[in-house]
């Protein structure tokens, strides 16, 4: 769909290196978020984030005004939670946050594939570290953004490959950030930190989920203790995927984010298709739906499933919801479609009938 962003803003941003453009947008989002916090402190009413007549959805012990969330990766250090709420998202996932501050991989590390509506990134978890993010959220979330905030945590590069150290590292991050999170997503599926995906075997994922869950339980938050979800790779075969999901569920995971970026490159035409890293965007749509269907059939109705991959319009969003997702997230679609994307997507989903409409109790 054409509009001011596609016609005027995107051509300017897309002349910039992708990471430079990302940093510029995030700087603006941070300023806007600060303004929104100030407005809330002065008693200005927040923008409406729920369609008239639509009841909130209750999942993970939280209320969601709509099913659309911002995926991890855009706001790695939690600088703009109030801005994502103002754009119309029903929740936002920040991170991936690691215990140690990290530079990530060398630049350039983000590549556009405009012919496919896709991106390749090999960021490698750059970020300011858990302590810096916790200090920021302690300050900014004193004014609630009005939507659930998830925090995505991952293993520091220095501990990857040591199963015991990985668990200790991520549990420590979750414990520090848990007071600021509505739920925690454990990222074991990024392809951009060597060895990270080796955590996706049943015994290691069970140990990790138990460790993170115990760390959160130790905060003494009672019924408001954040639930633990696991973010899965689309590149696992179906047998391995089911085994990992069952192990995580048995260890206490409340659900899954499906899916992370892929190493597959089938059918791509854009010049950057050969760059190493994880592919996101429209090419993931089919596999994301397959994984949601598989997880729902394997695990039943109870676990919360967040669908992610290839959402670029109402039809693709509804495809994940119809497949069995409770919630959906977007990342690459927002890059290509711009700041009006979230509200438009929520309207398009609602126009066809809200899946689960009227359901206000449950997972």
- Write down all domains in the chain, each with its CATH number in brackets: 4-351 (3.20.20.70)
| pLDDT given at position 285 | 97
Q: Which residues is 127 bridged to in the sheet?
A: 102
Give first-to-last CA distance, the chain, whole Å: 35
Q: Are 362 and 59 within 8 A, CB to CB?
A: yes
| pLDDT given at position 46 | 60
- pLDDT less than 50: residues of the chain: 49-53, 355-363
Q: Are 191 and 280 within 8 A, CB to CB?
A: no
| pLDDT given at position 363 | 43
Active site residue 190: yes
| pLDDT given at position 235 | 97
Q: Any idea what DSSP says for residue 305?
A: E
Single pTM value for the model: 0.93
Distances (CA, A) of 133 to 64, 222, 264, 290: 24, 23, 32, 34
| Structure token pair of residue 293 | 């269907």
| pLDDT given at position 359 | 39
Alpha helices by DSSP H, listed for the chain, are 4, 10-13, 18-41, 81-87, 130-140, 163-177, 202-217, 238-250, 285-299, 314-323, 332-337, 341-351
Containing 328, the helix (H) or strand (E) segment is: strand 327-330
Distance CA 296, CA 304 (A): 9
From the candidates 33, 156, 190, 233, give the one annotated as an active-site residue.
190
Among candidate residues 92, 75, 61, 89, the one with its CA nearest the CA of residue 26: 75
Distance CA 44, CA 80 (A): 18
């Amino acid at each position: 769909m054409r509009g001011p962003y596609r016609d005027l803003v995107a051509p300017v941003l897309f002349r910039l290196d992708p990471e430079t453009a990302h940093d510029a947008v995030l700087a603006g989002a941070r300023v806007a978020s600060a303004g929104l916090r100030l407005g809330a402190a002065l008693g200005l009413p927040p923008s409406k984030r729920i369609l008239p007549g639509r009841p909130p959805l209750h999942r993970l012990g939280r209320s969601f005004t709509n099913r659309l969330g911002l995926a991890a990766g855009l706001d790695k250090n939690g600088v703009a939670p109030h801005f994502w709420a103002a754009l119309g998202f029903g929740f936002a996932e920040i991170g991936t946050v690691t215990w140690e501050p990290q530079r990530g991989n060398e630049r350039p590390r983000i590549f556009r594939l405009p012919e496919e509506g896709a991106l390749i990134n090999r960021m490698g978890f750059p970020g300011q570290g858990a302590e810096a993010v916790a200090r920021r959220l302690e300050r900014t979330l004193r004014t609630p953004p009005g939507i659930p905030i998830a925090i995505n945590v991952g293993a520091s590069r220095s501990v990857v490959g040591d199963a015991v150290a990985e668990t200790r590292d991520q549990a420590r991050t979750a414990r520090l950030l848990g007071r600021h999170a509505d739920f925690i997503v454990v990222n074991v599926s990024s392809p951009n930190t060597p060895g990270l995906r080796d955590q996706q075997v049943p015994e290691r994922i069970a140990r990790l989920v138990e460790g993170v869950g115990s760390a959160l339980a130790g905060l003494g938050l009672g019924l408001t203790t954040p639930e633990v979800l696991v973010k899965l790779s689309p590149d696992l075969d179906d047998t391995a995927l089911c085994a990992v999901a069952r192990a995580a569920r048995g260890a206490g995971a409340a659900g899954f984010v499906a899916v992370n970026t892929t190493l597959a490159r089938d059918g791509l035409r854009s010049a950057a298709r050969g760059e190493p890293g994880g592919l996101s965007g429209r090419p993931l749509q089919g596999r994301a739906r397959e994984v949601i269907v598989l997880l729902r059939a394997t695990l039943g109705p109870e676990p919360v499933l967040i669908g992610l991959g290839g959402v670029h319009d109402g039809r693709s969003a509804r495809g994940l919801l119809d497949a069995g997702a409770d919630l959906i997230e977007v990342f690459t679609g927002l890059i290509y479609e711009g700041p009006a994307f979230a509200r438009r997507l929520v309207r398009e989903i609602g126009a066809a009938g809200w899946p689960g409409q009227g359901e206000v109790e449950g997972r």
